[in-house]
Homo-oligomer: A and B are copies of this chain.
Amino acid sequence: MDDDATLVEDLRRRIAASPFHAGFGISVEHAAAGDVLLGWEARPDHRNLQGLVHGGILATLVDIAMGLAIRTVVGPSRRHVTIDLGVHYLRPARPGRLEAAGTVLRVGSQVGFAEGSVTDATGRSLVRASGTYSVTQERTDGATG
Q: Which A residues contact B (CB, under 8 angstroms)?
A: 14, 17-21, 23, 44-50, 52-61, 63-64, 79, 81-93, 105-106, 108-111, 113, 115, 125-128, 130, 132, 134, 136, 140-145
Contact = CB atoms under 8 A, between A and B. Distances in A.
Given A83-B111, A125-B105, A134-B110, A90 B143 contact: yes
21 contacts: A17-B49, A18-B49, A19-B44, A20-B45, A20-B46, A21-B54, A48-B145, A50-B79, A56-B57, A81-B92, A83-B88, A84-B84, A84-B86, A85-B87, A85-B89, A90-B143, A92-B142, A92-B143, A105-B125, A130-B130, A132-B132
A128 B130 CA distance: 9
Nearest to A82: B55
B50 A88 contact: no
B85 A55 contact: yes
B145 A54 contact: yes
A53 B105 CA distance: 20
Given A20-B57, A60-B59, A82-B55, A88 B130 contact: yes
A89 B84 contact: yes
